[in-house]
């Protein structure tokens, strides 16, 4: 089934995701909500994370549409975003508070004539359904482990006090900040940010195009529908996914999130999250 589409739905106060699909590529960039600093582009973007995802995503798409290679498109887009950020902040990014520098995850798939290239940073997974029925999933296990530990600590610190989900999340604010400082550092995790340091650590998978049925990339807010909440089986869905079916899955996810406001049935760090997806049928 050939075709392509993308979708993006807000799950927080501001949708900090960027998603786009074209005939030969799909991209999702999931901006990480800032932990410090005021918005630097308030007339255009209410958060710096939303600015980063769109600044890099839109420029990368222009370059890809012009025929640029994936790595080249990303490097050009990040370099331009860095210049824009430093101009707005009035100082080099290396002199900024690390918690105020926006960051994001990345899922990018590029389908060439002979192969399909998957490039990722952070925990926005890339999925490839193969003709033998197997499903390849590429994600960042380090970042997923860090988040998993924060979720476990949240339960430990709550200790059955009956706190609301929002109150329970505040119990691990220190852990979230400490984890954020591990980005783009040895022993930590690699992500997309204006320094560009994560680009040399892209997860790269190259697959023979003739062996691939479909590929998808998504933000972790969408992936939770298939992983944590088990709304649907990704291997069963990926071959013939449509925008309508994706929105049905997302609607079921939102209903389950609403029914678990204190994060007890489905332990997590956010009640809801921005959910974005691209799909390419090959």
Residue 223 token pair? 């992936």
Cα-Cα-Cα-Cα torsion 243, 248, 250, 254, nearest 10 degrees, comes to 150
- Other Cβ atoms within 10 Å of 121 Cβ, number: 28
- Other Cβ atoms within 10 Å of 146 Cβ, number: 20
* pLDDT tens-digit readout, 140-176: 999 889 999 999 999 999 988 889 999 999 999 999 9
From 16, 10, 84, select the one nearest 50 (Cα to Cα): 16
Q: Give ∠ CA 190-193-198 in degrees, rounded to 5.
A: 35
Q: In what helix (H) or strand (E) does residue 26 lie, and over which residues does it extend?
A: strand 25-32
* pLDDT tens-digit readout, 176-186: 999 999 999 88
Contact 199, 74 (CB under 8 A): yes
Q: If you search the block for the tokens 């529908």, which residue do you land on? A: 225
- Alpha-carbon distance of 58 to 60, in angstroms, equals 5
β-partners of residue 33 are none
Q: Which residues contact 159 (CB under 8 A, 6 or more apart)?
A: none
Give how many domains the chain has, as a whole number: 1
- Other Cβ atoms within 10 Å of 105 Cβ, number: 28
- Per-residue pLDDT of the chain (282 residues), as tens digits, is 589 999 999 998 999 999 999 999 999 999 998 889 899 999 999 999 999 999 999 999 999 999 999 999 999 999 999 999 999 999 999 999 999 999 999 999 999 999 999 999 999 999 999 999 999 999 999 988 999 999 999 999 998 888 999 999 999 999 999 999 999 988 899 999 999 999 999 999 999 999 999 999 999 999 999 999 999 999 999 999 999 999 999 999 999 999 999 999 999 999 999 999 999 999
Runs of H (alpha helix) within the chain: 48-65, 70-89, 141-158, 165-170, 173-180, 220-226, 234-237, 243-258
- Alpha-carbon distance of 148 to 124, in angstroms, equals 15
Cα-Cα-Cα-Cα torsion 236, 216, 49, 68, nearest 10 degrees, comes to 180
Residue 113 token pair? 């004539």
For residue 174, CA distances in Å to 153, 181, 182 come to 11, 11, 13
Q: What is the CATH number of the domain that holds 86?
A: 3.60.40.10
Parent domain of 124: 3-281
Contact 40, 33 (CB under 8 A): no
């Amino acid at each position: 089934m050939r075709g392509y589409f993308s979708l993006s739905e807000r799950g927080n106060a501001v949708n900090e995701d960027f998603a786009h699909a074209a005939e030969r590529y799909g991209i999702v960039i999931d901006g990480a909500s800032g932990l410090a600093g005021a918005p630097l582009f308030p007339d255009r973007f209410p958060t710096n994370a939303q600015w980063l995802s769109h600044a890099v995503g839109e420029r990368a798409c222009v370059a890809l549409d012009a025929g640029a290679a994936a790595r080249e498109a990303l490097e050009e887009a990040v370099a331009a975003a860095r210049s824009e950020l430093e101009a707005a902040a009035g100082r080099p990014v290396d002199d900024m508070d690390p918690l105020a520098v926006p960051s994001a995850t990345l899922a990018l798939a590029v389908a060439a004539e002979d192969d399909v290239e998957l490039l990722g940073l952070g925990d926005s997974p890339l999925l490839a359904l193969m003709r033998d029925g197997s499903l390849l999933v590429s994600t960042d296990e380090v970042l997923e482990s860090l988040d998993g530990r924060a979720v476990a600590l949240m339960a430990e610190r709550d200790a059955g006090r009956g706190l609301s989900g929002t109150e329970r999340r505040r119990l691990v604010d220190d852990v979230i900040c400490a984890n954020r400082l591990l980005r783009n550092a040895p022993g930590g995790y690699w992500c997309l940010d204006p320094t560009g340091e994560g680009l040399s650590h892209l997860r790269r998978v190259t697959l023979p195009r003739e062996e691939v049925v479909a590929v998808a990339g998504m933000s972790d807010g969408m992936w939770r529908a298939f992983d944590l909440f088990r709304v649907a089986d990704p291997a069963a869905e990926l071959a013939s996914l449509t925008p309508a079916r994706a929105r049905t899955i997302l609607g079921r996810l939102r209903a389950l999130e609403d029914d678990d406001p204190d994060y007890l049935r489905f332990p997590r760090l956010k009640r809801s999250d921005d959910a974005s997806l691209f799909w390419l049928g090959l």
